[in-house]
Amino acid sequence: MTPIYLDYNATTPVDPVVREAMQLFFAGEYGNPSSTHVLGRSSQRAIAVARGQVAALIGCAADEIVFTSGGTESSNLAIQGAVYHAASDRNGHLIISAIEHPATVEPARWLARQGFQITVVGCDANGVVDPSEIAAAIRPTTKLVSVMHANNEVGAIQPIGEISEICRAANAKLHVDAAQSLGKIEVDVNRLGVDLLTVAGHKVYAPKGVGALYVRQGVELEPVVRGAGHECGLRPGTENTPYIVGLGTAAELAAASLPGITRQLAAQRDRLELGLRGRIPGLTVNAASSVRLPNTASVNFPGLIGAELLDAIPELCASTGAACHSGTTKLSATLAAMGVPEDVARGAVRLSVGRSTTDEEIDTAVERLAAVWQKRSRG
């Protein structure tokens, strides 16, 4: 059974070019980047190159990139670091949206337990945050606003440019989780107007376990982890040279593929949605009226539970929008915030395409999903 992989928003395979670039630093070039001998200097140079590659992808200076273990650590460093540094007396306020990834939600909740004030703003029926709600929520004590660039479940792209103008006027910093948007659409930190931006390696064809945080020059953070002075003192610990090299190579590949990959992904997503709509009466698409990621289709299969539908097609790799436990369903935070009715959202399935997706895979997925739906809905 050959898997049909339509779960690129969950993780991407490591690109062969990325694997090849990493291999040297697992063997011959194994020096500690902090060492001053020849092997150490070789690792230092490789990390410097990777820092420049990531910076080039998002339009910033190389010294504004801090390497981390992944998107979760990057967002934790951004959120906890910015709020703690700006409000050491805990008289600080943080704003997040209701559609954020747990890597944003959980550090915000942790800060709330430490005494900081947190406001959660909602979204509309298409999963888009209203900038006016951000403006209404900002206080004189607001230190940070954190809104994702594009939602990982439904693909809705957020109006970050408008939100950044509101933050600048209020002297509040803006953090953006760009884990899902990077490599699919253009991400430029200056056009977006952000102060902090999260990068996750395994969403952009690099390995799991590596990421980066963009920190605009002049923005000060309190470290989350303490130790030696690696990564400008913000992320202590000996650098993971092979994985950093992998992330840098992946960033360079991503930059070279834009904007062509955006068009390719959008065409395949549209093929997928049109195919399903043509075969399944009553099927709906979440966030259909919003500007979306080109690769993401979040669809609701009427009358069925998404998890049960996917269980019947073990070769299809995809994600659901509602967790099913002991005969009950629990909506995702995003679908709940969008106001999707529970009887609709229980049938939600997220299908996300990637660089390697073929039209044949899409057509096969449509046929198998439609066949199972038709059988189950009759029975």
DSSP 204-257: TTS-TT-EEEEE-TT-----SS-SS-TGGGTS-S---HHHHHHHHHHHHHHHHH
Phi, psi of 284 (to 5 degrees): -120, 155
Mean per-residue pLDDT, 320-326: 55
Active site residue 123: no
List the catalytic residue out of 123, 232, 317, 324.
324
Q: For the chain, count helices (H), then strands (E).
A: 13, 15
pLDDT at residue 324 in the model: 41
CA pair distance 345, 285, nearest whole angstrom:
11
Q: Whole-number mean pLDDT of the chain?
A: 94
What confidence tens digit (pLDDT) does each residue in 224-251 have?
888 777 888 788 888 999 999 999 999 9
Q: Are 199 and 210 in contact (CB under 8 A)?
A: no
CA pair distance 371, 138, nearest whole angstrom:
50
Which residues contact residue 98 at a Cβ distance below 8 angstroms, ignoring those fewer than 6 apart?
A: 120, 121, 122, 123, 333, 334, 337
What confidence tens digit (pLDDT) does each residue in 112-130 have?
999 999 999 999 999 999 9
pLDDT at residue 285 in the model: 98
pLDDT band at 322 (very low <50, low <70, confident <90, very high): low
pLDDT band at 88 (very low <50, low <70, confident <90, very high): low
pLDDT at residue 290 in the model: 95
pLDDT at residue 107 in the model: 97
User: Which secondary-structure segment (H or E) carries 320?
Assistant: strand 319-320
Assigned CATH for 4-11+259-378: 3.90.1150.10
Mean per-residue pLDDT, 245-269: 98
Q: Are 162 and 133 in contact (CB under 8 A)?
A: no
pLDDT at residue 201 in the model: 98
CA pair distance 271, 244, nearest whole angstrom:
35
Q: Which of 268, 276, 317 is nearest to 293 (CA)?
A: 268
Q: Is 271 exposed, middle or buried (0-12, 13-18, 19+ CB in 10 A)?
A: middle
Asked whether residue 293 carries a pLDDT value surpassing 50, the answer given is yes
Percent of all residues in the chain with a pLDDT value above 70, rounded to a whole number:
97
36-50, 265-279, 319-333, range with the lowest pLDDT:
319-333
Tell which CATH architecture fits domain 16-257.
3-Layer(aba) Sandwich (3.40)
| Peptide linkage before 259 cis (omega within 30 of 0) | yes
Q: What angle do CA 38, 40, 45 make, to 5 degrees?
A: 95
pLDDT at residue 99 in the model: 97
Asked whether residue 84 carries a pLDDT value surpassing 50, the answer given is yes
Asked whether residue 138 carries a pLDDT value surpassing 50, the answer given is yes
What confidence tens digit (pLDDT) does each residue in 274-283 have?
999 999 999 9
Mean per-residue pLDDT, 288-315: 96
Top-confidence residue, 274 or 321 = 274
Asked whether residue 221 carries a pLDDT value surpassing 50, the answer given is yes
In the β-sheet with 93-97, what is the strand arrangement from edge to edge? 65-68, 211-215, 196-200, 173-177, 142-146, 93-97, 117-121
Classified as helix, coil or strand, 336 is helix
Q: Which of 271, 279, 278 is nearest to 371 (CA)?
A: 279
Asked whether residue 204 carries a pLDDT value surpassing 70, the answer given is yes
Classified as helix, coil or strand, 140 is coil
pLDDT at residue 233 in the model: 75
Residue type, 116: F
Q: Could you tell me the residue ranges of all domains in the chain? A: 4-11+259-378, 16-257
Asked whether residue 326 carries a pLDDT value surpassing 50, the answer given is no
As given in the structure block, the two tokens for residue 290 are 């919003």
pLDDT at residue 325 in the model: 39
Q: Is the pTM of this model over 0.85?
A: yes
